[in-house]
Chain A
Protein backbone atom coordinates (compact mmCIF):
# COMPACT_ATOMS: atom_id res chain seq x y z
CA UNK A 1 0.00 0.00 0.00
CA UNK A 2 1.04 3.58 -0.53
CA UNK A 3 2.02 5.95 2.25
CA UNK A 4 3.04 9.56 2.29
CA UNK A 5 5.29 11.17 4.87
CA UNK A 6 5.98 14.75 5.74
CA UNK A 7 8.51 16.24 8.10
CA UNK A 8 8.90 18.00 10.27
CA UNK A 9 5.43 17.89 11.78
CA UNK A 10 5.86 21.25 13.47
CA UNK A 11 8.33 24.05 12.85
CA UNK A 12 8.87 27.46 14.41
CA UNK A 13 11.24 29.70 12.51
CA UNK A 14 12.30 33.35 12.76
CA UNK A 15 11.60 35.80 9.97
CA UNK A 16 14.38 35.79 7.41
CA UNK A 17 15.51 32.24 8.11
CA UNK A 18 15.56 29.50 5.44
CA UNK A 19 12.98 26.74 5.14
CA UNK A 20 13.02 23.17 3.93
CA UNK A 21 9.98 20.90 4.20
CA UNK A 22 10.19 17.38 2.88
CA UNK A 23 7.59 15.02 1.51
CA UNK A 24 8.16 11.42 0.44
CA UNK A 25 5.83 8.81 -0.99
CA UNK A 26 6.25 5.07 -0.63
CA UNK A 27 4.67 2.20 -2.51
CA UNK A 28 4.18 3.84 -5.89
CA UNK A 29 6.19 5.08 -8.85
CA UNK A 30 5.94 8.20 -10.98
CA UNK A 31 3.35 9.95 -8.84
CA UNK A 32 2.07 13.44 -9.42
CA UNK A 33 3.03 15.48 -6.37
CA UNK A 34 1.47 18.62 -4.93
CA UNK A 35 2.16 21.22 -2.24
CA UNK A 36 -0.77 23.04 -0.66
CA UNK A 37 -0.96 25.72 2.01
CA UNK A 38 -3.87 26.13 4.38
CA UNK A 39 -4.09 29.40 6.29
CA UNK A 40 -6.30 30.03 9.30
CA UNK A 41 -7.90 26.56 9.12
CA UNK A 42 -9.74 27.29 5.90
CA UNK A 43 -9.45 26.42 2.21
CA UNK A 44 -6.41 24.89 0.60
CA UNK A 45 -4.32 26.83 -1.86
CA UNK A 46 -2.27 24.88 -4.41
CA UNK A 47 1.30 26.14 -4.40
CA UNK A 48 3.25 23.75 -6.66
CA UNK A 49 2.75 20.54 -8.53
CA UNK A 50 5.14 18.15 -10.22
CA UNK A 51 4.65 15.44 -12.81
CA UNK A 52 8.22 14.17 -12.77
CA UNK A 53 11.77 14.60 -11.52
CA UNK A 54 12.89 18.18 -11.98
CA UNK A 55 9.50 19.24 -13.36
CA UNK A 56 7.89 21.87 -11.16
CA UNK A 57 4.97 24.16 -11.90
CA UNK A 58 4.16 27.09 -9.69
CA UNK A 59 0.59 28.16 -9.15
CA UNK A 60 1.08 31.28 -7.09
CA UNK A 61 3.98 33.76 -7.20
CA UNK A 62 5.46 33.88 -3.75
CA UNK A 63 8.42 33.55 -1.49
CA UNK A 64 8.57 29.78 -1.81
CA UNK A 65 10.08 27.31 -4.25
CA UNK A 66 9.80 23.57 -4.77
CA UNK A 67 12.08 20.86 -6.05
CA UNK A 68 11.78 17.21 -6.91
CA UNK A 69 15.23 15.64 -6.76
CA UNK A 70 13.93 12.07 -6.77
CA UNK A 71 10.83 10.39 -8.14
CA UNK A 72 9.07 10.15 -4.80
CA UNK A 73 10.55 13.15 -3.01
CA UNK A 74 9.14 16.66 -3.06
CA UNK A 75 10.74 19.55 -1.19
CA UNK A 76 9.33 22.96 -0.35
CA UNK A 77 11.90 25.67 0.33
CA UNK A 78 12.43 29.30 1.06
CA UNK A 79 15.61 31.35 1.32
CA UNK A 80 14.10 33.92 3.67
CA UNK A 81 10.83 33.33 5.48
CA UNK A 82 8.18 36.02 5.84
CA UNK A 83 5.53 36.30 8.53
CA UNK A 84 2.93 35.59 5.85
CA UNK A 85 4.50 32.18 5.19
CA UNK A 86 3.00 30.87 8.42
CA UNK A 87 0.40 28.18 7.88
CA UNK A 88 -0.26 24.50 7.52
CA UNK A 89 1.51 22.86 4.58
CA UNK A 90 0.13 19.72 3.03
CA UNK A 91 1.78 17.46 0.51
CA UNK A 92 -0.35 15.22 -1.68
CA UNK A 93 0.15 12.63 -4.37
CA UNK A 94 -1.95 11.12 -7.11
CA UNK A 95 -1.27 8.17 -9.41
CA UNK A 96 0.18 9.30 -12.74
CA UNK A 97 -2.08 7.02 -14.72
CA UNK A 98 -5.21 7.69 -12.73
CA UNK A 99 -8.25 8.99 -14.51
CA UNK A 100 -10.00 9.95 -11.30
CA UNK A 101 -7.76 12.82 -10.16
CA UNK A 102 -7.96 11.51 -6.61
CA UNK A 103 -5.29 12.97 -4.36
CA UNK A 104 -4.00 11.47 -1.14
CA UNK A 105 -2.60 13.72 1.52
CA UNK A 106 0.23 13.56 4.02
CA UNK A 107 -0.10 14.51 7.70
CA UNK A 108 1.03 18.08 7.11
CA UNK A 109 3.56 20.50 8.62
CA UNK A 110 2.52 23.36 10.86
CA UNK A 111 4.86 26.30 10.22
CA UNK A 112 4.95 29.32 12.48
CA UNK A 113 7.12 32.25 11.48
CA UNK A 114 7.88 34.65 14.31
Chain B
Protein backbone atom coordinates (compact mmCIF):
# COMPACT_ATOMS: atom_id res chain seq x y z
CA UNK B 1 0.00 0.00 0.00
CA UNK B 2 1.15 3.48 -0.74
CA UNK B 3 1.76 5.51 2.36
CA UNK B 4 2.80 9.01 3.34
CA UNK B 5 4.50 9.43 6.70
CA UNK B 6 5.00 12.59 8.69
CA UNK B 7 7.04 11.62 11.72
CA UNK B 8 6.73 14.94 13.56
CA UNK B 9 3.28 15.39 15.12
CA UNK B 10 4.29 18.85 16.40
CA UNK B 11 7.03 21.35 15.70
CA UNK B 12 7.75 24.83 16.99
CA UNK B 13 9.87 27.69 15.74
CA UNK B 14 10.73 31.21 16.78
CA UNK B 15 9.51 34.00 14.59
CA UNK B 16 12.03 34.87 11.84
CA UNK B 17 13.84 31.54 12.16
CA UNK B 18 13.82 28.50 9.90
CA UNK B 19 12.02 25.20 10.43
CA UNK B 20 11.94 21.98 8.42
CA UNK B 21 9.02 19.58 8.35
CA UNK B 22 9.68 16.00 7.31
CA UNK B 23 7.76 13.69 5.02
CA UNK B 24 8.54 10.28 3.55
CA UNK B 25 6.46 8.31 1.09
CA UNK B 26 6.40 4.96 -0.53
CA UNK B 27 5.89 4.45 -4.26
CA UNK B 28 6.99 2.37 -7.19
CA UNK B 29 6.16 5.11 -9.68
CA UNK B 30 8.86 7.06 -11.49
CA UNK B 31 6.99 10.26 -12.34
CA UNK B 32 4.59 11.89 -9.95
CA UNK B 33 3.89 15.04 -8.01
CA UNK B 34 4.23 15.71 -4.33
CA UNK B 35 2.41 18.39 -2.39
CA UNK B 36 2.51 20.30 0.86
CA UNK B 37 -0.77 21.75 2.06
CA UNK B 38 -1.32 24.13 4.96
CA UNK B 39 -4.40 24.04 7.17
CA UNK B 40 -4.68 27.18 9.34
CA UNK B 41 -7.19 27.49 12.20
CA UNK B 42 -9.89 28.27 9.63
CA UNK B 43 -9.34 24.65 8.50
CA UNK B 44 -9.36 25.40 4.78
CA UNK B 45 -6.62 23.44 3.03
CA UNK B 46 -4.25 25.70 1.13
CA UNK B 47 -1.67 24.49 -1.37
CA UNK B 48 1.78 25.60 -0.25
CA UNK B 49 4.11 24.03 -2.78
CA UNK B 50 4.27 21.30 -5.42
CA UNK B 51 7.23 19.24 -6.61
CA UNK B 52 7.44 17.20 -9.80
CA UNK B 53 9.43 14.04 -9.23
CA UNK B 54 11.40 14.04 -12.47
CA UNK B 55 12.69 17.57 -11.85
CA UNK B 56 15.95 17.54 -9.94
CA UNK B 57 15.61 21.18 -8.93
CA UNK B 58 13.83 21.66 -5.63
CA UNK B 59 10.66 23.72 -5.81
CA UNK B 60 10.58 27.14 -4.16
CA UNK B 61 7.71 29.48 -3.40
CA UNK B 62 8.88 32.63 -1.65
CA UNK B 63 9.83 31.57 1.90
CA UNK B 64 8.81 27.96 1.30
CA UNK B 65 11.12 25.43 -0.31
CA UNK B 66 11.42 21.68 -0.46
CA UNK B 67 14.28 19.28 -0.09
CA UNK B 68 13.34 16.46 -2.44
CA UNK B 69 15.40 13.30 -2.21
CA UNK B 70 13.87 10.93 -4.76
CA UNK B 71 16.03 7.91 -4.01
CA UNK B 72 15.31 8.23 -0.32
CA UNK B 73 11.62 9.01 -1.01
CA UNK B 74 11.88 12.03 1.22
CA UNK B 75 10.10 15.34 0.69
CA UNK B 76 10.70 17.89 3.44
CA UNK B 77 9.35 21.42 3.65
CA UNK B 78 11.58 24.28 4.76
CA UNK B 79 10.01 27.49 5.97
CA UNK B 80 12.42 30.40 6.17
CA UNK B 81 11.91 33.63 8.10
CA UNK B 82 8.92 32.10 9.89
CA UNK B 83 5.96 34.37 10.51
CA UNK B 84 3.13 34.15 12.99
CA UNK B 85 0.77 33.50 10.08
CA UNK B 86 2.66 30.30 9.27
CA UNK B 87 1.21 28.65 12.36
CA UNK B 88 -0.96 25.84 11.05
CA UNK B 89 -1.13 22.13 10.47
CA UNK B 90 0.93 21.04 7.47
CA UNK B 91 0.12 18.00 5.37
CA UNK B 92 2.30 16.19 2.90
CA UNK B 93 0.33 14.53 0.09
CA UNK B 94 1.00 12.16 -2.77
CA UNK B 95 -1.32 10.98 -5.56
CA UNK B 96 -2.30 7.35 -5.65
CA UNK B 97 -0.70 5.57 -8.59
CA UNK B 98 -2.35 3.97 -11.52
CA UNK B 99 -4.00 5.09 -14.72
CA UNK B 100 -7.40 5.33 -13.10
CA UNK B 101 -6.29 7.12 -9.97
CA UNK B 102 -7.93 10.36 -11.11
CA UNK B 103 -5.57 12.31 -8.92
CA UNK B 104 -6.67 10.80 -5.64
CA UNK B 105 -4.37 12.10 -2.94
CA UNK B 106 -3.03 10.25 0.07
CA UNK B 107 -2.26 12.54 2.98
CA UNK B 108 0.13 12.20 5.86
CA UNK B 109 -1.16 12.61 9.40
CA UNK B 110 0.00 16.20 9.58
CA UNK B 111 2.45 18.28 11.60
CA UNK B 112 1.20 21.05 13.85
CA UNK B 113 3.53 24.04 13.56
CA UNK B 114 3.61 26.62 16.35
CA UNK B 115 5.36 29.93 15.78
CA UNK B 116 6.55 31.77 18.88
CA UNK B 117 6.87 35.56 18.80
Task: State the A residues within 8 Å of B (CB).
Answer: 32, 34, 38, 41-44, 46, 49, 51, 57, 59, 88, 90, 92, 94, 98, 100-108, 110
A sample of 28 inter-chain contacts (CB < 8 A) reads A32-B103, A34-B104, A41-B89, A41-B110, A42-B109, A42-B110, A43-B107, A43-B109, A43-B110, A44-B45, A49-B102, A49-B104, A51-B102, A88-B43, A98-B103, A100-B33, A100-B50, A101-B33, A101-B95, A101-B101, A101-B103, A102-B35, A102-B50, A103-B103, A105-B37, A105-B44, A106-B44, A107-B42
Chain A residue, CB-CB nearest to B46: A105
Besides A43-B108, A46-B104, 8 more A-B contacts (Cβ < 8 Å) are A32-B103, A34-B104, A44-B45, A100-B33, A100-B52, A102-B103, A103-B105, A104-B47
Chain B residue, CB-CB nearest to A50: B102
Give min CB distance, B32 to chain A, whole Å.
8
Q: Report chain B residues within 8 Å CB of A98.
A: 103
Of the listed residues B33, B47, B102, the one surrounded by the most CB atoms of chain A closer than 10 A to its CB is B102
**Once the chains are docked, how many angstroms separate the CA of A88 from the CA of B42?**
11
Q: Report chain A residues within 8 Å CB of B44.
A: 105-108
Task: State the B residues within 8 Å of A (CB).
Answer: 32-33, 35, 37, 42-47, 50, 52, 89, 91, 95, 101-105, 107-110
Chain B residue, CB-CB nearest to A45: B107
**Once the chains are docked, how many angstroms separate the CA of A32 from the CA of B95?**
14
Of the listed residues A41, A44, A49, the one surrounded by the most CB atoms of chain B closer than 10 A to its CB is A44
Chain B residue, CB-CB nearest to A92: B45
**Once the chains are docked, how many angstroms separate the CA of A47 from the CA of B60?**
31
**Once the chains are docked, how many angstroms separate the CA of A57 from the CA of B50?**
26
Give min CB distance, A98 to chain B, whole Å.
7
